Amino acid sequence: MTHDHLSPARMGSTPQDYARFGIEPGAIKPHEDGLRTDGGPGSYEWWYFDAHLDDGAKLVVVFFTKEFTAIGKPLAPMIRIDLTLPDGTTVEKLAEFDASTFTASTDTCDVRIGANVFAGDLHTYTIRAKAEDVEVDVTLTGTVPAWRPESGHWLFGEDGEQIFAWLPSVPEGRVEATYSLAGRSTTTTGVGYHDHNWGNTVMLKLMHHWYWARGSAGPYSVIASYITAEKQYGYSTLPVFMLARDGKLIADDKSKVTFEELGSYTDTDTGTGKPVANVTRYTYSDGDERYVVTYTRHSDLSTVKFADNLTPPKRFAAKLAGFDGAYLRFVGEVRIEHYEGGKLVESHVDDALWELMYFGKARP
């Protein structure tokens, strides 16, 4: 009888881990939102922004060093803009650039791709981007301070040699935005978010799937995620939880979090074939005090089978290899409840978006 050897997966949290990455516990510095890789083969990196705008529009802007699945390639910068108009029309644009157009500071967030800019100081950001006939000009001002779960580096393998890193530089902020489509401009305000990811190993080799969500309701802001590592890592679970009230952090100890998936179904309507929970719930228990954050799905905003976005030869190769990764983004509500000694003392509800990223095959 043989037993598969399982490798460890953990969040970096030891003094040695912090020293390795040149960071400090609980003290985030501007260089952490600067360039953290060299952009070359064996790395990926991106800076992400999204906003819910007061006119009903939704906006996503991402600056990439390269397509994150093409980790073996040299620097190949890209910008993605997804704009959902108030009437529900969605425009998705991807602009690719020559490597010579890319510059980024290692001291702070100052990323330039041609005339496009993603720059800020962990509090105030300027984002200007254009892809074909879509153009955006955004100012994001943080209302919740920059945060990370411990070191923000998930480490995979015996020596933690494989890395997936994440920094929520602006967990929540005020947005002033002008967006233009085919020459027609709209200026509005809203609520936004910015984070930064990088790593040295293709994510689908490390992670089987994750739920990731953020949102706000009443005085509360939340970021919550539940990551399941790949089979090689024993399908270990890696929870993330941050809760702030009136802009101040009140809860972020992952050991106090439990996660539930309720009302699960298999997504056959869009053909991903993935198991999906209609309700995801994060419960944070700290002595007699308990916070319950519940996301309830109303509909799908988008569903993507990764293989469908490949060129025909790559799509055929992906199917031969059995790759059937998918991404689902949901629209619904978040409810944040506060209990003291078993008694509900506060409850707030608001609209929310969240996602299920499913790299692996559905588990039997």
Three-class SS of residue 287?
A: coil
pLDDT band with cut points at 50, 70 and 90 for residue 347: very high
β-bridge pairing 248-251 and 257-266: unpaired
Please indicate, yes or no, whether residues 128 and 242 belong to a single structural domain of this protein: no
How many domains are contained in the chain? Answer: 2
Name the domain boundary from 169, 201, 233. Answer: 201
Question: What pLDDT digit, counting tens, does each position of 233-251 carry?
Answer: 999 999 999 999 999 999 9
Given this model, what pLDDT does residue 359 score? 84
CATH number of residue 292's parent domain: 2.40.370.10
**Could you tell me what percent of the chain has a pLDDT over 70?**
91
pTM of the predicted structure, to 2 decimals: 0.91
Q: Are residues 35 and 108 in the same domain?
A: yes
* Same structural domain, 361 and 239: yes
The two tokens of residue 305 are 């089978």
Judgement on whether residues 3 and 118 belong to the same structural domain of the protein: yes
**Of 177, 201, 225, at which residue does a domain stop?**
201
Dmax (CA) of the chain: 67
- Cα–Cα distance for residue pair 10/164, rounded to 1 Å: 11
Indicate whether 260 and 319 sit together in one domain: yes
Domain shared by 158 and 63, yes or no = yes
* Domain housing 295: 203-364
Question: Are 19 and 155 contained in the same domain?
Answer: yes
Q: Report pLDDT digits (tens) over 294-340.
A: 999 998 877 776 655 544 444 444 443 445 678 888 889 999 999 99
Q: Name, in order, each residue with C-beta under 8 angstroms of 274's C-beta and a sequence gap of 6 or more.
A: 209, 266, 267, 326, 328, 356, 358, 362
Q: What pLDDT, in 10s, does the model give residues 15-31?
A: 999 999 999 999 999 99
Residues 39 and 12 grouped into a single domain: yes
